[in-house]
């Protein structure tokens, strides 16, 4: 488990880590295909096939996460479509208590997300989780996704954290591997990012379903 006395900086992913990934999965797999089919007057099956191919072709790249890119590609206002189902945005179990406890212990909380800034704004408006965060960084600021070493190099230049005294929590193994390559010492994988889907295996990292499993105790 994590010895919180040895941790100064906590790097946190957003979608699937602090927030339920169900919103994003529902948007890309259900809502966008339905709206694309309506607006472009094609069948739902055609919309699903087209969008699935476009998503696969961009997976893990900055374009994959860029709402401006998708708005241009599909000729729809992606942020506006996200707002249509923003009632589905919610924090994951124990997330706020976890952040509050870490804050009370004096840890530095840095959100690092591949989410586009427009998407971040929508999610913060709904959840207010940014009240617990010290820094919020979108990979779009660095023009590199978290999958790339360039992201980590630019993050270290800006924030000057000690990788040996840093924990990074994310739900995507390939991103955790990127952080591991850079030298982040403590890595945690969220294994149940989508509340509507079963947990996946933690693979090579410390796996948790919910934050209560690594909740730091507050000294009395």
CATH of the domain at 149: 3.40.50.1000
pLDDT value at position 220?
39
- 202, part of any domain: yes
Instruction: Give how many domains the chain has, as a whole number.
Output: 2
Q: What is the average per-residue pLDDT within 78-104?
A: 97
Are 151 and 81 members of one domain?
no
Q: Which domain holds residue 37?
A: 23-87
pTM of the model: 0.94
The 8-class DSSP code of residue 105 comes to: T
Are 98 and 60 members of one domain?
no
Q: Tens of pLDDT along 114-169?
A: 999 999 999 999 999 999 999 999 999 999 999 999 999 999 999 999 999 999 99
- 60, part of any domain: yes
Contacts of 28 (CB under 8 A, 6+ apart): 51, 55
- 185, part of any domain: yes
- 102, part of any domain: yes
Are 100 and 178 members of one domain?
yes
Q: What is the average per-residue pLDDT within 81-100?
A: 97
Q: Tens of pLDDT along 45-61?
A: 999 999 999 988 888 78
Are 148 and 41 members of one domain?
no
Are 117 and 163 members of one domain?
yes
Are the beta carbons of 88 and 23 closer than 8 angstroms?
yes
Contacts of 181 (CB under 8 A, 6+ apart): 149
Average pLDDT, the chain: 94
Instruction: For residues 139 and 204, give the distance between their C-alpha atoms in angstroms, rounded to a whole number.
Output: 24
Contacts of 124 (CB under 8 A, 6+ apart): 130
Could you give the strand order of the β-sheet that contains 206-208, starting from the edge strand earlier in sequence?
A: 135-138, 108-113, 9-12, 166-170, 186-190, 206-208
Paired with 135 in beta bridges are 110
Instruction: For residues 28 and 51, give the distance between their C-alpha atoms in angstroms, rounded to a whole number.
Output: 8
């Amino acid at each position: 488990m994590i010895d919180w006395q040895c941790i100064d900086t906590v790097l946190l992913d957003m979608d699937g880590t602090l927030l339920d990934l169900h919103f994003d999965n529902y948007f890309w797999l259900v809502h966008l295909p339905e709206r694309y089919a309506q607006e472009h007057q094609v069948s739902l099956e055609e919309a699903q096939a087209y969008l699935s191919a476009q998503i696969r072709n961009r997976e893990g790249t900055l374009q994959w996460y860029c709402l401006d890119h998708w708005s241009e590609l599909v000729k729809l206002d992606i942020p506006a479509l996200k707002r249509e189902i923003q009632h589905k945005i919610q924090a994951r179990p124990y997330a706020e208590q976890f952040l509050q406890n870490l804050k009370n212990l004096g840890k530095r909380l840095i959100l690092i997300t591949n989410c586009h800034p427009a998407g971040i704004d929508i999610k913060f408006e709904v959840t207010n989780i940014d009240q617990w965060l010290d820094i919020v960084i979108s990979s779009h600021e660095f023009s590199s996704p978290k999958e790339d070493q360039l992201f980590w190099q630019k993050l270290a230049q800006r924030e000057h954290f000690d990788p040996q005294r840093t924990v990074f929590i994310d739900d995507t193994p390939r991103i955790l591997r990127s952080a591991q390559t850079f030298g982040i010492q403590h890595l945690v994988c969220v294994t149940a990012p989508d509340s509507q889907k079963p947990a996946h295996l933690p693979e090579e990292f410390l796996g948790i379903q919910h934050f209560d499993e690594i909740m730091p105790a507050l000294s009395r």
